[in-house]
Amino acid sequence: MLSALIFDVDGTLADTETAHCAAFNAAFAQMGLDWHWDRDTYQRLLAVSGGVERMAQFWRETDPEAASSPGAEATLRALHQAKTRFYTGSTSGSAASGPLALRPGVLRLMREARASGLRLAIATTTTPANIAALLQPHLGAQWERWFDAIGDGHSAPVKKPHPQVYTQVLSRLGLDARSVIAFEDSANGLRAATAAGLATVVTPTAWTRHDGFAGALAVLPSLGEPDVSSPELCVDVARLRRWHASFWRDSAAPARRRAPLIQSQLEPELL
């Protein structure tokens, strides 16, 4: 029986990677580095989960000697602290642009899930401060009370596609993977959730729409909003319960599990 929903943050709750990329570039400039990540570079580096790990990868590519020097780790930590200040400032609504919007259907489904007695949790590789900056404007100062468990880049330092953050959250929930659905946006996230044994709904963004999503429970442009999405693309608790039941009923047929139950046409305008 379905008991809980576990949400990834970046790309799933909100389309955040444009803001992350801008924050990285602002930190590089503030620290006097001539690094600048354009869209193509950042899209390629997104294959590496974790901001510190992502910068380390870029540094190894561009200056392997400096990247392995004794002070490199301290430099990366300072860079990441600066980046997090820029990101939380741009996301939380304190910037003129206002708070970063949640993706279609996220708040609706979380409200409906809680009203239906389902428990909610978060499993992300991002920095804890980023979660608060994103969710506080939408869920209020007590935003953490929405979630029975939160796994993040600090509590689970081994990043996706490793399943560490999902196994940690399942353990904190005291639930078996078969009673939970995960929500992700990327191939790394799908692989992490699948490795932890979870049926996973994928809602890619423009940053991740070219990833591979074999083994997903469903691949959709978003969780949908009744007034703007066609009915079959609107995810509600009743639909999730049906998908979850058929996913585990069909699990005896491994070949069928490789093809998502729902593979909608990811229309660019919907992403």
How many angstroms separate the CA atoms of 61 and 77, rounded?
A: 18
Q: How many residues bind ligand XBP (CB under 6 A)?
A: 17
Does 38 qualify as catalytic in the annotation? no
Candidates 20, 119, 191, 244; binder of ligand XBP (CB under 6 A) is 20
Binding site partner of 25, from ligand XBP, Mg ion, none, Cβ cut-off 5-8 A by kind: none
Give the closest residue to 76 by CA, choosing from 46, 47, 57, 56: 56
Residue of minimal Cβ distance to ligand XBP: 51
* Binding positions for Mg ion, 172-191, rule CB under 5 A: 185-186, 189
CB 91 within 8 A of CB 136: no
Kindly state the tokens that stand for 17: 């990677």
What is the Cβ-side half-sphere exposure of residue 80, based on CA atoms within 13 angstroms? 19
Strands (E), the chain: 4-7, 119-123, 149-151, 180-184, 199-202, 218-219, 262-263
Q: Are strands 4-7 and 262-263 parallel, antiparallel or unpaired?
A: unpaired
Give the x-and-dash track for 126-155 against ligand XBP (CB under 6 A): xx--x----------------------x--
Candidates 4, 5, 7, 11; binder of Mg ion (CB under 5 A) is 11
Q: Which stretch binds ligand XBP (CB under 6 A): 28-36, 119-127, 230-238, 250-258?
A: 119-127
Order of all β-strands in the sheet with 180-184: 149-151, 119-123, 4-7, 180-184, 199-202, 218-219, 262-263
* Binding positions for ligand XBP, 186-205, rule CB under 6 A: 189
Does 185 qualify as catalytic in the annotation? no
Per CB under 6 A, residues contacting ligand XBP are 8-11, 17, 20, 49-51, 124-127, 130, 153, 160, 189
Per CB under 5 A, residues contacting Mg ion are 8, 10-11, 185-186, 189
